[in-house]
Amino acid sequence: MQLSDILKTDAVKTITSSTSKKRLFHDLADLAQNCYGFNASDVVDALLDRENLGPTGVGHGIALPHARLKDATSVRGIFLRLEKPLDFDSVDRQPVDLVFALLAPDTAGVEHLKALALISRTMRDPAICAKLRANSDPATLHAILTEVQSTQAA
């Protein structure tokens, strides 16, 4: 599995400001609906339900919200770069500016975990995060995220 398999070019966006985690989930849901055809309200509910189990802010300004959806047929990703960092109840209490959301089918099992591990490995790389933070163009952000994997595979 590669990030290019789960992340469409148009599922990458820079957001100028989001006022709360819930508002951010609505932004993610709108993008999920536009890019993948998911029901936006189902996405928000699923992300909020997962977040209630524990915050998905993993530290260093990164959040990896994820959820399972009954209508999903494959694992899909959404990446948002926030120009204004947002409080996300992260483990290190630092605000978040890089958000990689993962939406998976209810039945995904191992596929969901593999995708989450791949995203986590990618987002733990300080050089990648620095490049993501230095760019705001969605096509460039997508290229940074997807080319990383192909160079790691080589």
Dump the DSSP string for 64-79.
--EEEETT-SS-EEEE
End-to-end CA, the chain: 14
Residue 73 binned pLDDT confidence (cut-offs 50, 70, 90): confident
Q: Rounded mean pLDDT of the chain?
A: 88
Catalytic site residues?
66
Task: Tell me what the mean pLDDT of segment 88-92 comes to.
Answer: 84
Give me the number of domains the chain comprises. 1
Q: What are phi and psi of 34, to 5 degrees?
A: -65, -35
Supply the CATH number for residue 66's domain. 3.40.930.10
CB 15 within 8 A of CB 136: no
- List pLDDT tens digits, range 97-107: 999 999 999 88
- Please write the tens of the pLDDT for every residue from 30-57: 999 999 999 999 999 999 999 888 888 8
Range of the domain at 16: 3-153
The whole-number average pLDDT for the span 4-28 is 89
CA separation for the pair 66, 126 (Å, rounded): 22
Report how far apart, in Å, the C-alpha atoms of 54 and of each of 47, 83, 99, 125, 130 are. 11, 25, 16, 23, 26
Query: What average pLDDT score do residues 123-135 get?
Result: 93
Task: Give every CB contact of residue 148 below 8 A, 6+ residues apart in sequence.
Answer: 3, 122, 125, 128
For residue 149, pLDDT beyond 70: no
What's the pLDDT at 16? 84
Of 7-11, 68-72, 76-80, 144-148, least confident by mean pLDDT is 144-148
pLDDT for res 89:
83
Give helix 138-153 / helix 110-123 axis angle, nearest 10°. 100
Lowest mean pLDDT across 29-33, 128-132, 147-151: 147-151
